[in-house]
Amino acid sequence: MEKDGRHALLVDGAPFLVLGLQARNSSAWPSQLPKVWPAVEKLHANTLEVPVSWEQMEPESGRFDFTIVDALLREARAHRVRLVLLWFGTWKNGSSHYIPLWMKREPQRYPRMAGADGRRVDSPSPTRPTSWPPTPGPSGRSCAT
CB-based burial label for 120 (10 Å; 0-12, 13-18, 19+): middle
Q: Looking at this protein, which amino acid is placed at residue 90?
A: T
State the Cα–Cα distance between residues 30 and 65, nearest whole angstrom. 14
Please give the Cα distance from 76 to 83 (Å, whole number): 7
**How many Cα atoms occupy the beta-carbon half-sphere of 100 within 13 Å?**
15
Q: What is the DSSP letter of 118?
A: S
Sequence-ordered alpha helix ranges (H) in the chain: 33-42, 54-57, 67-78, 101-104
pTM above 0.75, yes or no: no
Residue 144: band (very low, low, confident or very high) from pLDDT cuts 50, 70, 90: very low
Q: Which carries the bigger pLDDT value, residue 29 or residue 35?
A: 35
Look at strands 6-7 and 2-3 and give their pairing: antiparallel
pLDDT, average across residues 104-117: 83
Q: Are 31 and 66 in contact (CB under 8 A)?
A: no
Task: Encode pLDDT of 47-94 as tens digits.
Answer: 999 888 888 889 999 999 999 899 999 999 999 999 998 877 766 666
